[in-house]
Amino acid sequence: MTGGEPVSDEEIIARERRRLRNTGRIIVAIIALAAAGDLLLFFDGMSGALPGIGISAQGVRLFLVAGLLAAVIGLAWVSWRGRQAQARSERIVRRQIDDHQALGGLGLAVLLILLLEFATRASEGARPPFFFIALVLFAAFTFFSPRARRSGIARLLDDELTRALRGKSVLVGYLAAMAMLSGLYLTIFYSPALAMQAGPFLLVAGVAVPVLYFLFLQWQAGRGG
């Protein structure tokens, strides 16, 4: 045996669990990063202190976007490394479906938090990052779902309950977006300026509502038993 390679299923699962836990830590760090940036912007709004400590609000925003990009690249790398390791055995992944799904849910939750955070600032020049996050979240929820990767492992992680829940959530998102769109259409006649402001919230209805509902349904499905 070379390089301390695990030999039994139990050892492989324990090592994979550590890897998943580390990925979870990265995700929590992203939340902390976003919260720290928020606090900086908040205190700047309260007292205009940022220029005093040599950081501009624009700099903080760039820092947030750079952090987000780094996080996306980091997560993609971790996910790629993970798939290399998993590819050795479907048997192992079968015993870790819940762990992988929980991590996926955490990732979606982070993107959702970032989206909602930027949605509240969409009128303050934060539109480009907002739309970027909205697109990433939309893609993560639909096109980059395990099903779309079409591998045996992905099929395992995207079992029929997950697909059913996603379908239900997409329907709710569609209804929410249509309701918002109807409201927006009426608003255009009375207050075009207000309609422009409401644009980001239309995206939130179409993207965030299904993700939020999906996370709720997944949590509900795991209760009891």
- Which residues form the interface with other proteins (CB under 8 A)? 90, 94-95, 97-98, 101, 156, 159-162, 164, 218, 221-225
The number of helix segments (H) and strand segments (E) in the chain equals: 9, 0
Amino acid letter for position 16:
E
Residue closer to other proteins, measured from CB, 11 or 159: 159
> Considering beta carbons, is residue 207 or 215 the nearer one to other proteins?
215
Q: Give burial (CB, 10 Å; 0-12/13-18/19+) of 122.
A: buried
Amino acid at 193: A
Q: How far is the CB of 217 from other proteins (least distance, A)?
A: 10
Token reading at 33 = 């990063």
Nearer to other proteins, 38 or 99 (CB): 99
CB of 163 to other proteins, least distance (A): 10
Query: Terminus-to-terminus CA distance in the chain, angstroms?
Result: 40
The distance of closest approach from Cβ of residue 20 to other proteins in the complex, given in angstroms and rounded to an integer, is 15
Query: Taking the mean position of all CA atoms in its chain, how far away is CA 220?
Result: 19
Give every CB contact of residue 108 below 8 A, 6+ residues apart in sequence: 137, 140, 141, 211, 214, 215
Residue 158 C-beta: closest distance to other proteins, Å: 10
Question: Would you say 54 or 225 has its CB closer to other proteins?
Answer: 225
CB of 38 to other proteins, least distance (A): 33
Least distance from other proteins to the Cβ atom of residue 113, Å: 23
* Residue with smaller CB distance to other proteins, 6 or 222: 222
Rounded to whole angstroms, the Cα distance separating 47 from 114 reads 24
Nearer to other proteins, 5 or 98 (CB): 98
Long-range contacts of 217-223 (CB under 8 A, 24+ apart): 217/165, 217/168, 217/169, 218/101, 218/105, 218/162, 218/165, 221/161, 221/165, 222/98
